């Protein structure tokens, strides 16, 4: 019969007791989380923004001066918020051009705080000239500010652990003095709940968070049960540095011997040292490593090891540290131990663990002064069984996520296609200016019998030769079961499109122009009384459209990506 890794060392009755404890802990963590989580969600808004300077020079250098008023609202009556770290990053056309760190603060109950990050300077932003010219014509620039936060909640005297949400603020800001009639429109900001799980309802997010916390406590409890009661102790009792000099070509010549003391203070636990590797470092660079002989160490036992490092090694850029240490009379050397070991309690042996220890030494050259013994510090220890448990947990979570997705997603995929398109005007002038008038009939089909779709936001963007020349916002709507909706975005105007004349002449000779329309959606599904959180798929429609009505248009299916 097989067992369950580390659990096979524990009688079944103890395993049942541990399982009961874990279930109780899981329920306790879930209850505490439901009590302490914010009842009302925090609110983030951009109330005002001023753009004093925003221009691109011929070498793709963006010069900018942007100030933003961010409104942070805590609507809760009993919960305060510690904003331990706030980083604001500014983006244009999907590229970051600046970031600033804001002052941390505590926000009390039912409180509003105004932050005012200012972005000023210059930044190289290649390939944004087209977007810049379009925004310049529109009179507003599409800017995005993201907040990267580290925050904690406080309820009474209880403080939670840190959370790291990201807040995304998209807004259009006019250039100061360009057109007084155009003002700034305040915008709400969106934020994620828990990274990948943001695509699921918040209650599901909270439940999964509780499960992960419980599993973490379970792993900790199992580790505390199986670890040695008294920690093993490692010391460097003595070290002698017979040779240690750097030649003009950065070659280090060395001879270092150390006495390494390994102490097992436990009365019932022995240790198998299956592999011991000692590595020597100077100024952060490794210059030698030696493998020591494996051995078994009994109860309350001390073992002395004598690793010797001797030879030469090329160590670039250490002359400064070497000269400083030489003047001090002691050299700062670091020895790290990489160990593979097992514990033995009675007839039971654990699986291998892989701890690391770091010994920081100050060693005099020769015998000029005495060596001071040093303790070694613990670096890491991740038992393979714990790794396997974590891997199994991740696989289980992946399966759970897949099951939830299969339940919540539409049983029949939504269908998108271009039924018709008319191109009244489409020509490129000598200065690479595209003049266009394009109308598209988009067919959106929901074939499901029990699932409706809320299209909360629909943005249609038109592209030619991979470059966007226009975008329009369409009216949001609800689409019922087994329903078809026709959308008709119209793109009309002019836009600077450099380096498309070759493609234009080729398409003109063929009699059809290869145009691409992409839909950027924010949508929710409805099944009965249940509504999902928002999804953000992208729909891509590629088609060839003739100029005028001399050639019949052929309908094309669209692809989409979730």
* All domains of the chain in start order, with CATH: 43-194 (2.60.40.10), 233-378 (2.60.40), 415-561 (2.60.40.10)
Q: What angle do CA 506, 508, 509 make, to 5 degrees?
A: 65
For residue 188, what pLDDT is reported?
A: 93
Classify the phi-psi angles of 143: left when phi > 0, otherwise alpha if psi is within -120 to 50, otherwise beta.
Answer: beta
At 38-91, the pLDDT tens digits run 567 889 999 999 999 999 988 888 999 999 999 999 998 888 999 999 999 999
Helix residue ranges per DSSP H, 5-150: 12-36, 129-138
Helices 202-226 + 12-36 axis angle, to 10 = 140
For residue 9, what pLDDT is reported?
A: 36
Q: Pick the residue with more confidence: 487 or 176?
A: 487
Residue 144 bridge partners (DSSP): 91, 170
**Chain Cα centroid distance, residue 421:** 41
CA dist., res. 310 & res. 243, Å (int):
9
Structure token digits, residue 520: 């950027």
Q: What angle do CA 170, 171, 174 make, to 5 degrees?
A: 150
Q: Which residues contact 496 (CB under 8 A, 6 or more apart)?
A: 129, 130, 133, 134, 431, 432, 433, 434
- The predicted model scores a pTM of 0.36
Q: What is the 3-state secondary structure (H, E, C) of 236-258?
A: EEEEEEEEEEECCCCEEEEEEEE
Residue 161 near residue 84 (C-beta atoms within 8 A)? no
Structure token digits, residue 544: 């060839």
CA dist., res. 290 & res. 451, Å (int):
66
CA dist., res. 477 & res. 479, Å (int):
7
Q: How far is CA 94 from CA 179, 188, 328, 371, 427, in A?
A: 25, 19, 52, 58, 28
Q: How confident is the model at residue 3 (pLDDT cuts 50, 70, 90)?
A: very low
Q: How confident is the model at residue 149 (pLDDT cuts 50, 70, 90)?
A: very high
Q: Other CB atoms closer than 10 Å to residue 379's CB: what's the count?
A: 12
Q: What is the pLDDT averaged over residues 17-44?
A: 66
Burial of residue 526, with CB atoms counted within 10 A of its CB: 0-12 exposed, 13-18 middle, 19 or more buried: middle
Question: 525 pLDDT exceeds 80?
Answer: yes
Residue 257 near residue 304 (C-beta atoms within 8 A)? no
CA dist., res. 307 & res. 357, Å (int):
15
| Phi, psi values for residue 215, rounded to 5° | -65, -35
Question: 408 pLDDT exceeds 70?
Answer: no
User: Which residue from 31, 33, 36 is spatially nearest to 154, judged by alpha carbons?
Assistant: 36
Structure token digits, residue 296: 């078994």
Q: Which residues contact 180 (CB under 8 A, 6 or more apart)?
A: none
Q: What percent of the chain has pLDDT over 70?
A: 79
């Amino acid at each position: 019969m097989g067992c369950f890794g580390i659990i096979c060392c524990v009688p079944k009755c103890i395993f049942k007791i541990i399982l009961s404890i874990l279930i109780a802990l899981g329920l306790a963590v879930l209850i505490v989380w439901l009590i302490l989580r914010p009842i009302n969600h925090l609110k983030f808004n951009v109330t005002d923004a001023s753009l004093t300077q925003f221009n691109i020079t011929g070498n793709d250098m963006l010069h900018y001066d942007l100030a933003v008023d961010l409104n942070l609202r805590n609507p809760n009556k009993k919960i305060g918020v510690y904003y331990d770290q706030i980083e604001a990053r500014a983006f244009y056309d999907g590229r970051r051009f600046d970031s600033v760190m804001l002052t941390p603060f505590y926000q009390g109950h039912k409180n509003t705080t105004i932050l005012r990050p200012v972005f000023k300077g210059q930044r190289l932003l290649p390939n944004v000239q087209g977007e810049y010219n379009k925004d310049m014509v529109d009179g507003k620039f599409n800017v995005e500010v993201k907040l990267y936060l580290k925050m904690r909640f406080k309820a009474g005297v209880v403080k939670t652990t840190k959370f790291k949400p990201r807040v995304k603020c998209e807004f259009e800001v006019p250039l100061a003095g360009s057109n007084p009639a155009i003002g700034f429109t305040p915008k709400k900001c969106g934020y994620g709940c828990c990274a990948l799980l943001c695509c699921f309802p918040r209650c599901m997010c909270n439940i999964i968070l509780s499960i992960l916390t419980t599993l973490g406590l379970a792993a900790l409890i199992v580790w505390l049960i199986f670890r040695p009661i008294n920690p093993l102790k490692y010391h460097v009792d003595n070290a002698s540095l017979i040779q240690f000099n750097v030649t003009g070509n950065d070659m280090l010549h060395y001879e270092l011997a150390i006495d390494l003391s390994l102490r097992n203070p436990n009365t019932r636990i022995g240790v198998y040292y299956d592999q011991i590797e000692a590595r020597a470092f100077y100024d952060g660079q490794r210059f030698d490593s030696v493998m020591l002989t494996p051995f078994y160490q009994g109860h309350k036992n001390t073992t002395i090891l004598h690793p010797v490092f001797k030879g030469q090694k090329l160590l670039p850029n250490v002359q400064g540290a070497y000269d400083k240490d030489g003047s001090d009379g002691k050299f700062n050397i670091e020895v790290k131990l990489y160990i593979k070991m097992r514990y033995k309690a009675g007839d039971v042996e654990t699986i291998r663990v892989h701890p690391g220890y770091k010994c920081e030494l100050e060693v005099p050259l020769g015998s000029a002064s005495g060596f001071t013994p040093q303790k070694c510090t613990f670096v890491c220890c991740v038992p393979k069984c714990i790794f396997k448990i974590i891997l199994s947990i991740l696989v289980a979570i992946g399966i759970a996520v897949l099951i939830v997705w299969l339940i919540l997603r539409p049983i029949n995929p939504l269908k998108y296609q271009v039924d018709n398109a008319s191109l009244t005007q489409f020509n490129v002038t000598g200065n690479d200016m595209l003049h266009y008038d394009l109308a598209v009939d988009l067919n959106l089909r929901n074939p499901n019998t029990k699932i409706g779709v809320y299209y909360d936001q629909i943005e249609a963007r038109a592209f030619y030769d991979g470059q966007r020349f226009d975008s329009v916002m369409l009216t949001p709507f609800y689409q019922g079961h087994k329903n078809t909706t026709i959308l008709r975005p119209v793109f009309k105007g002019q836009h600077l499109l450099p380096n498309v004349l070759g493609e234009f002449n080729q398409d003109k000779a063929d009699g059809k122009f290869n145009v691409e329309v992409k839909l950027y959606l924010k949508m929710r599904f409805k099944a009965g009384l249940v509504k999902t959180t928002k999804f953000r798929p992208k729909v891509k429609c590629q088609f060839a459209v003739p100029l005028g009505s001399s050639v019949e248009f052929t309908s094309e299916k669209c692809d989409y990506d979730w």
